[in-house]
């Protein structure tokens, strides 16, 4: 078990600097002992969301999570995407909580960021609301009819930004976006 034993009192994560392991009823859990100062403010999260068009929506379907890429726009402090009407629409119709995550990397500053919006989703039925969203240039990337509009209204919005490790020029994959900072 990662070099540790429950009975010996040594956990699998003892060497990680920002976390400490706690044993409770013979189950290991991690608790933060040092909180990095990389959390984004509420306004910073909204600014990053406003600049992005692609994210991943997570919905509960048949009692398990499903995650799909979606392109989205911001509309009145909510996120709106269009769908053809199968799984994502079903998640919206069942009114279960959902989450949308988007992230990015800036090769000039060598920082990465991630924003997660968690909340409720609903289907937009009002033609005027659909027209307002269309005026925000919400165009699906995936071909085919996407006639159903879905709105995620966040109840929680969190994000973080962090400096990425310098890539090892000789061992970093060619597709790694960090390579652009030294090529």
Q: What is the pLDDT of residues 165-176, one digit of tens each?
A: 776 655 667 777
In the prediction, which pLDDT does 110 show?
A: 86
Same domain for 115 and 151, yes or no, is yes
Q: What are phi and psi of 180, to 5 degrees?
A: -65, -20
Same domain for 7 and 74, yes or no, is no
- Quote the DSSP letter at residue 10: B
Residue 90 belongs to some domain of the structure: yes
Model confidence pLDDT, tens digit, residues 83-95: 887 665 665 566 6
Residue 104 belongs to some domain of the structure: yes
Same domain for 15 and 47, yes or no, is no
In the prediction, which pLDDT does 2 show?
A: 36
Q: d(Cα 64, Cα 107) in Å, to the nearest integer?
A: 36
Ranges in the chain, pLDDT < 50:
1-33, 35
Q: List the domain range (segments joined by +) for residue 148.
A: 42-163
What sections of the chain are H helices per DSSP?
A: 42-51, 87-93, 127-134
pTM of the full structure:
0.70
Same domain for 10 and 93, yes or no, is no
Sign of CA dihedral 60, 64, 70, 73: positive
Same domain for 135 and 88, yes or no, is yes
CATH of the domain at 86: 2.30.110.10
* Residue with token string 């962090």: 162
Same domain for 57 and 119, yes or no, is yes
């Amino acid at each position: 078990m990662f070099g540790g034993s429950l009975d010996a009192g040594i956990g699998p994560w003892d060497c990680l600097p920002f976390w400490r392991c706690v044993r409770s009823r013979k189950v290991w859990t991690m608790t933060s002992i040092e909180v990095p100062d990389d959390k984004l403010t509420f306004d910073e999260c909204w600014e990053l969301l406003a600049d992005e068009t692609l994210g991943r929506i997570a919905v509960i379907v048949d009692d398990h999570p499903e995650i799909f890429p979606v392109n989205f726009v911001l509309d009145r402090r909510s996120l709106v995407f269009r769908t053809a009407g199968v799984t994502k629409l079903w998640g919206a119709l069942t009114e279960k909580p959902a989450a949308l995550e988007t992230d990015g990397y800036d090769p000039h500053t060598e920082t990465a960021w991630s924003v997660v919006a968690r909340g409720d989703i609903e289907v937009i039925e009002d033609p005027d609301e659909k027209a307002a969203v269309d005026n925000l240039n919400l165009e699906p990337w995936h071909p085919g009819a996407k006639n159903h509009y879905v709105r995620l209204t966040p109840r929680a919005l969190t994000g973080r930004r962090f400096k990425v490790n310098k890539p090892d020029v000789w061992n970093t994959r060619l597709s790694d976006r960090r390579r652009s900072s030294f090529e």
